[in-house]
């Protein structure tokens, strides 16, 4: 299966790498018509990708989806065009309007997933550029490693939070669903920043553990596939709230197939540009745990507070 993916990854690189087009603030009806047509094709191709049972046909449909998406993003005015009717992909625009990140997954018949994406930048010279996200999960031996867009720890992101503190270089918190295999699912708190050349960097040492540990560049949660997990931002108190995961019994510790929420909650609190772990918080309203494969728990009524 890995070998079969190599031509597809090459195809993505050819389609996306060094792609740039002039961004126009105004665009005519023909551009809108072209974007609408591309959107309709993307809806059809994404549904086809998920409806087929054959891996080869599924990835062929996804390759056609990528080609259509790249063509759409080359269209003048595409940066401000909404693709919200394409339900299978996530499109997040940074609150500072600097970029958009597209991310999605393709299920594989063995219960695993392959992730795809691109970052669409809005540059100062009014050009739009695409930076492909190449899923390198199978080649990343250290899940704490800092990586680039060419060796991406793939996920389908559902929330983006910008962080600026004391004049430091800003970074962005990405909350994502990672999937995993037939037995477990994963969610991730990823950190995205850009170097001076505009190259994306995934992972950053901004996490402080409860006991002072400062060695984490990203946070990964793994749990039983039949269970759900809350991971969301409460913007009022600047805390990332999440279920505390624990094994069903002590002898199952370390075997994440047997991990689920123990009905308690922890959080990361933003302090001076860093994320400090706060354990055992109380939620006034428990989040809705009803979900399908992908969970988007963005209930604004969740208000965490420290347990006295």
Q: Residue ranges per domain, the chain?
A: 1-135
Q: Which residues contact 244 (CB under 8 A, 6 or more apart)?
A: 261, 262, 264, 265, 266, 279, 280
User: Rounded to the nearest 5 degrees, what angle is found at the Cα of 268, between the Cα atoms of 263 and 270?
Assistant: 150
Write out 196-260 in H/E/C secondary structure.
CCCCEEECCCCEECCCCCCCECCEEEEEECCCCCCEEEECCCCEEEEEEEEECCHHHCCCHHHEE
The residue-averaged pLDDT of 197-226 equals: 93
pLDDT at 171: 96
pLDDT at 175: 98
Is 79 strand, coil or helix? helix
CB 20 within 8 A of CB 122: no
pLDDT band at 169 (very low <50, low <70, confident <90, very high): confident
The band of 72, judged by pLDDT with boundaries at 50, 70 and 90, is: very high
Report the share of the chain in percent with pLDDT over 90. 67
Mean pLDDT value across the chain: 84
Q: In whole angstroms, what is the distance from residue 151 CA to residue 199 CA?
A: 12
Give the end-to-end CA distance of the chain in Å, rounded to a whole number: 52
Give the predicted TM-score (pTM) of the model. 0.83
Report pLDDT for 126: 53
Q: Is the pLDDT of residue 236 over 50?
A: yes
Across the range 42-59, mean pLDDT stands at: 94
Report, in this order, helix, strand and coil percent for the chain, each rounded to 5. 25, 40, 40
């Amino acid at each position: 299966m890995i070998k079969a993916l190599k031509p597809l990854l090459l195809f993505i690189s050819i389609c996306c790498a060094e792609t740039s087009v002039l961004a126009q603030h105004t665009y005519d009806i023909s551009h809108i018509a072209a974007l609408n047509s591309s959107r309709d094709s993307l809806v059809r191709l994404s549904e086809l990708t998920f409806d087929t049972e054959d891996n080869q046909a599924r990835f062929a449909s996804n390759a056609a989806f990528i080609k259509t998406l790249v063509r759409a993003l080359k269209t003048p005015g595409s940066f401000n065009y909404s693709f919200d009717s394409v339900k299978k992909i996530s499109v997040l625009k940074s609150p500072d309007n600097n970029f958009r990140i597209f991310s999605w997954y393709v299920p594989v018949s063995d219960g695993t997933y392959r992730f795809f994406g691109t970052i669409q930048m809005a540059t100062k010279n009014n050009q739009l550029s695409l930076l492909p996200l190449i899923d390198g999960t199978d080649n990343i031996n250290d899940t704490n490693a800092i990586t680039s867009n060419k060796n991406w720890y793939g996920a389908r992101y559902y929330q983006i939070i910008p962080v600026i503190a004391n004049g430091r270089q800003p970074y962005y918190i990405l909350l994502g669903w990672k999937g995993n295999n037939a037995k477990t699912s994963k969610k991730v708190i990823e950190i995205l920043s850009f170097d001076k050349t505009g190259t994306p960097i995934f992972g950053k040492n901004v996490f402080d553990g409860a006991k002072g540990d400062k060695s984490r560049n990203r946070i990964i949660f793994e749990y039983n596939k039949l269970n759900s997990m809350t991971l969301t931002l409460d913007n009022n108190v600047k805390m990332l709230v999440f279920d505390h995961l624990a094994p069903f019994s002590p002898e199952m510790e370390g075997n994440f197939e047997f991990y689920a929420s123990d009905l308690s909650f922890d959080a990361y609190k933003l302090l001076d540009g860093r994320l400090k772990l706060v354990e055992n918080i109380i939620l006034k309203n428990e989040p809705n745990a009803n979900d399908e494969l992908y969970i988007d728990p963005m209930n604004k009524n969740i208000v965490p507070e420290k347990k006295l």
